[in-house]
Amino acid sequence: MSVEFSQREIRLKKIRDLFLKFHKVLMDAERAKYEEENGAVSSGKFLEMLLGDPKFAWLRTLSTLIVRIDESFDLDDGLSSDMVDGYFEEIGNLFDESEEYQEFKLKLKDALPENPEANRIGSEILELLS
């Protein structure tokens, strides 16, 4: 394994950790917004909504990606360079102007103005991608 690849793998781990924080901040904001409109829900009910309600499908984009990255780090053979490149491209596509992940991008665009913490974390992710 080359030093360059090791550094890219470390970068991916950092991005994954930031994605976890990003997901939590966005999820907490969505829960607060939902509860303001509909009343309080239990943690179990909210988890059920996160997993199945179409209103929260955009957040599943992040959680699914986090799980896939985690599973890749746990592979017996480890991550390949192509896998790391693929994750960097996929993560970049979440924030670029491409047609991919349109629902996620629209919901994120609505969520970010109200959420300085999510903005900060998103900026950190983009910085690590560059």
HSE (CB half, 13 Å, CA atoms) of 109? Answer: 10
pLDDT digits (tens, 9 = 90+) for 28-54: 999 999 999 999 999 999 999 999 999
Tell me the two tokens of residue 101.
């992940």
Average pLDDT over residues 5-23: 93
Per-domain residue ranges of the chain? 3-129
Contact 84, 9 (CB under 8 A): yes
Angle at 75 between CA 70 and CA 79, to 5 degrees: 80
* Nearest alpha carbon to residue 66 among 110, 29, 26, 111: 26
Contact 91, 65 (CB under 8 A): yes
If one compares 2 and 35, the residue with the highest pLDDT of the two is 35
Please enumerate in sequence order all residues whose Cβ is within 8 A of that of 87, keeping only pairs 6 or more positions apart, or say none. Answer: 12, 15, 65, 68, 69, 72
Angle at 18 between CA 24 and CA 109, to 5 degrees: 65
pLDDT, residue 71, reads 95
From CA 60, how far away is CA 54, in angstroms rounded? Answer: 10
* Nearest alpha carbon to residue 69 among 105, 8, 3, 17: 17
Contact 26, 121 (CB under 8 A): no
pLDDT digits (tens, 9 = 90+) for 76-105: 888 899 999 999 999 999 999 999 999 999
